Structure 1
Amino acid sequence: MNGDQDGRHPDRYRVLFAISMQLENHTFTDAGEHAALLSGWEQQYFQLDCGQFHGRLQQIGSDGIHVFYESVNRRIVQQGSTPSDMLVFGIVLDASSPVTFADRAVTADSLICARANREFVLHFPGETAILGIGVKLPFLRERPELAARLESRFFTKTSVIPLEPGAREQFIALWRYVTDEAFALNAFAESELAQRTVTAQIFEMLDAVVETGIHDDKADITWMSHSDVVARAHEMIIARPLEPVTVHELCESLRISRRTVQTSFRLVTGKTPVEYMRAIRLNYVRQLLRKAPAGELTVRDAAQRWGFFHSGHFTQDYRELFDAMPSDNRPK
């Protein structure tokens, strides 16, 4: 997937909403301009192949954590250093041959892990797209458990490690969802809600990659049954309809691991936590639509009351769950 194939948003777009929120989309015809706009990085891009350069850079996030996508159509070499206060993780989406980072081949089933203030040389072999997450050290200091897991999981002697089966696809799917949601939230939600929601969603991307393949010896619940985990999650959903509950918040609130949350939902509901929580919110939207005449409450208003700001995602999820369109459930 290169930059020209993903045409969901304008080719050149930049918005800052709430002071610390970032939502950017750029296209370039010069590799140097491309390099200069990646937030916080000290680097240079050098074009090696003949022909006009086309690059794309998309950045979404906040002061503490952000996700970035970049693509190029020519072979380039990147040289510089990672930000002094940021850990960086990246996966290759498309490349004609392996990307090279720190003298290591980066294939589609591997993950780049770069510490803060690390000098690097990165070779893109033309027609390459990469997706990354940058997480700032102050953000991690507020989350010592995550910091410890990142350290033990990723930062070994090598900067390129193999991904667990399915992790890459999950990471990409989450990125596409977060991207669409960020633009929808920017258009329809209050800035503080948009900032919190997008930051939490990107954090979920990072947390999901960290958890993948890790065996948790504390997965067995001792003081709380699996059904209690689901019941407590349900209470959190109802208490905060505008802002979807994340798996990370469940873990912190219930003081249990991500794997325990996943196991509880699978055993009790047959669904993942995200699937279950989305289904509950969709049911509440359906109840609103069945009670209120169209003249009193629009489908969009009903959806947004339960945190669905992207109309395409909402309609697709609603149709899959109820085998009906939202408009089908209005009072006759």
Structure 2
Amino acid sequence: MPISVKTFGTLPDGREAKLYILEGPKGLTLEATDYGCRVHRLWVADKLGTPGDVVLGHRTLPEYFGANFQGAAVGRYANRIGNALFHLEGKAYPLAKNDGENSLHGGPGGFHQVLWQAKAQDGEEPQITFSAESPEGEEGFPGRLSVTVAYTLTKDGALRMEYSGTADKPTPFNPTNHSFFNLSGNPQAKIFDTTLQIHAGQVTEVTDDLIPTGTLLPVQGGPLDFTSPKPLGQDMFADDHLIQVCGGFDHNFCVDGEGFRKLAEAFEPESGRVMEVWSDMPGVQLYTFNKAPEPLTGKDGKAMEPHTAFCLETQFYPDSPNQPGFPFAFLTPGKAFATKTEYRFSIR
């Protein structure tokens, strides 16, 4: 199907950011911008056939500037690296700090701040491919990293995200997408009634600043037990220390199994929308938009409110470069890394 392009705005240095609109099968429509390789809108039909935008975001380009990860591809390393430091081949690499003493989502100048190169391809499964170069030493990371991210609307109603990277020196690489989903299509609606199932029997134990200790904790019978579907609101404010610290969920789940498999499924009963998450990554971070920093304004022109969205970020576990027991490998020269995630939509 045809892909349309329009201007989204201008960066402070005068470069122009674009919006790319892909119309796919089954009423699925994606609007993505090259600024941050970002999902700006995602229209999905509800049980009545009415399309609705199921991701949070902003009306204008400048609202995405700064420490705003909404809809963006994040990296070089998604999630946190403790003390903004890791060691590789006997050398210490201090990183830019943007989460207290830690590095979060690649640092303040990570992928979410980059104007990516874009190439669109129409057809039965329209696709937009973004590419970028991260130079040696950016945010403290070693090596020059070449990255591509492809978003495809598949004929069976999924948004497929494919990431690949190559580097000229060993370096950490852990890309993901940070879309904030609200399957009701109403950005002001709380997500308490959205049911969620995650195929994970364990989570990473973390300190209060969300850095793993290296221990994996069982979820069975506790507030983090999503092995059977349950409403997000059921345990979002449970009498659990970390849930109370976070004001909701902000946890890495260690997904059962290996290879490309189903990680999670969310269902919003009023709209009937179902979203399945499939990936080959070992973990998924559940975040329930526990705090809406002022002054964030949504695409509806209203102030964003906490607990109006959830994120399911497929990833390596947080702080894996410092945790030898976690499933992770550094990206090395001559060996590309590739990973795939699909958000599959249907109605019930």
- TM tier, smaller: under 0.3
More helix by share: 1
Q: Which TM-score applies when normalising by structure 1?
A: 0.27
Higher RCO, Cα 8 Å, sep 6+ = 2
> Which of the two has higher C-alpha Rg?
1
Q: Which TM-score applies when normalising by structure 2?
A: 0.26
